[in-house]
Chains A and B, each alone.
Chain A
Amino acid sequence: MSARQDYPSRRTQMERLRRQVRALEQAAPAAGHRVARLGARALDERLPGGGLAATGLHEVLPARSEWDDGAALGFALLLLGRLTGLREGPLLWATRRADLYAPALPAYGVAPERLLLARCGSDEEVLWALEEGLRCAELAAVVGEVAELDATAARRLQLAAETVQRPCLLLHRRQVAARRGAGPATPALTRWQVGALPSRAEAHRGLVGNPVWRVELLRCRGGRPAIFEVEWDHATGDFAVAAELRDSATAALERAG
């Protein structure tokens, strides 16, 4: 009986291991660690270091492919604007389709003249271009649009981005997670899933108001998954978290964590 009490309970042991893992994970990007504040407190608090790490891979994907492409791109542009606001230099944008519309970009904090556009023929070429871009010290960030991404390619990008201390943003044009939840494992620092929500009625009568998105932080190294309802003010360029949503899936994840 007494021997049993010498061992910590299974739960405490797990707790300790989790703490160690978390410390390790948070230590990794801490070397020359720079974070970009997103400007919305509820979001920043959820991220390790109080903001989005400016040295590594971040993924953004639409909640429903095709239909939420606009919302996902808008959110990715906002992240990009915040990640590169303090850094000079061009941004490499590698994509298969040339449908990014430059006149819209200034509103998101991205100067169109900074973009170095590389039109690729395939996902492989996009990933290749991103890796090349991460070898060039002049670029402030690299952004790629891909249809699909395998974990190996993502790991390479994450490693490269961490080594050169540059942000790499990957926008999926197709939904990744087949089922509800975190989707396949990713080596990225964060993975966001963005879908449109109806804008709030009371503020604008019948007019198209500020975009409202359901932003799901699917994965976050050193942090926890979360779901937010985010409103973005087109005029001021500010984020506002209208509500942190909790659904059964997140609740279950949080209990497990």
Chain B
Amino acid sequence: MAEQTPAADRAALERLAEWSTRYTPWTAVESVSEPGGGAGLWLDITGCAHLFGGEEALSRELVARLSRFGLSARLGLADTPGAAWAVARYATQAAQPVCRVAPGEQAAALAPLPVAALRLPAERAELLRRLGLSRVADLDGLPPAALEPRVGPEVARRLRQALGQTDEPVSPRRPVPAHLERLAFGEPIGAPDDLARAVETLLGRLCAGLERAQAGGRRFCLTAYRVDGSLARLPLGTARPVREPAHLKRLFAGRLESLDPGFGIEAMTLAAETLEPLSALQMTLAEGAARAPTTGGQGATGQNAALDLGRLVDRLGGRLGFARVHRLAPRESHLPERCVAAGPALPHAGARPGRWPARPPRPVRLLSRPEPIEATAGWPDSPPAQFRWRRLLHRVVRAEGPERLSPEWWLPSNADPAGAPGGSRDYYRVEDGDGRRYWLFQAGGRWFLHGLCA
């Protein structure tokens, strides 16, 4: 016997909801705040059942698979969540774990069930029973005006929901993607070639769907359902909306290795999660750019150029991370380390590059953090006579400066935890005996090396 803990139950149910996305992307765990809630899963199989041979076959398969995990399940299938909830709990038996309510037959199916089947709190159900209303059928004929003052509005609402007279919104766990393709395998697969072929098939179908919708995806997610019930997700982002199977296949190809097939994968889904409009015209241009020979490059201008660059950024960002692929943009600041900002890797066509203000010669390398140096100063307000940096003594032969740079007073103090003090800095460009040039500064009576000059 295992000890019961609500948190562990909840986590197990979450995993099960995740697993059941193999049947439908729309899954949810029953809200704990509901009476009798927290113990069930919602699956909206609208439009999905035919993929599994109809609702009956889907239910049978679901129960069979769950029993393989050692779980006994009761299934209710109906037009409304309320009716499904009721029949799953009150109209099924161990021998017959599935109860399906034919479309439009909720009233008949619910009539013989106890009132508790309407998802009512225990004390409310008890009250109804004491009033002599123990079955749903007893409630059905009563005018709401007679019922409401005695038992509250909830009973009538639950009844209307179960019968489909009121809409009942239930939110899925994850946003349901508008474009999703699914592939189930007769035999579990695991070989890299098989995985790649499966992805190719999925991409072909998904992109066809995107084409009909005149859309391109910015975020994709490949989900692999393993035999043991666990699943692996492989998300993928792109810099521009895409719906070319070949390009996406290349993007996925590099990552498929990281997909651990475990004991085998029995189903896969591929979803386009973020969509953007992408017209056929844009696609033709993009394909034209892709087909254009890579040499020459004269023909590649305008939109073609941007899209081709977009693919490069996709590939770089896919492996290195999109934050690590960027342009450089000027930022107005007096402090050297604040002068440069990261810009988008693919600037908009109309974007004007910022101006880099003319300044005295600057170092080609700027250390990420000024390094403290031991400096022997000559006179006050003069460059040091010599300094020690990275254990080597440099004799200063020539120097230029000071150039005083102050942090903006309206910004928070730039004091560096590593030791560089806030406040103004006096910068010097110095050359040592070997001709090497450095960018030093003095701040608060201490010296730092900040950059290497050419």
A residues whose Cβ falls under 8 Å from a Cβ of B? 32, 66-71, 73-75, 77, 89-90, 92, 97-108, 111-113, 115-121, 125, 128-129, 132-133, 135-139, 163-165, 196-199, 204, 206-209, 211-212, 232, 234
Contacts and interface: CB of A to CB of B under 8 A. Distances in A.
Most chain A Cβ neighbours within 10 Å, of B292, B325, B367, B400: B325
A211 to B, nearest CB: 5
Question: Majority SS of interface residues in chain A?
Answer: mixed
Interface string B294-316: 11110010000100110111011
14 contacts: A71-B435, A77-B454, A90-B309, A99-B365, A111-B353, A125-B319, A135-B294, A136-B309, A136-B311, A138-B297, A139-B312, A196-B436, A206-B399, A208-B398
Contacts of B438: 70
Nearest to B337: A101
Interface string B361-403: 1111111100000000000000000000010100001111000
Interface string B197-212: 0000000000000000
A117 B328 contact: yes
A121 B320 CA distance: 8
B324 interface: yes
Nearest to A234: B361
Interface stretch (B85-93, B142-150, B425-433): B425-433
Interface in B269-327: 292, 294-297, 300, 305, 308-309, 311-313, 315-316, 319-320, 324-327
B356 A103 contact: yes
A125 B309 contact: no
A199 B309 contact: no
Contact of A125 (B320, B433, B454): B320
Given A70-B363, A90-B309, 5 more contacts: A118-B320, A132-B315, A138-B297, A138-B305, A207-B400
Contacts of A125: 319-320
B348 interface: no
B258 to A, nearest CB: 15
A132 B312 contact: yes
B45 interface: no
Contacts of A108: 364, 454
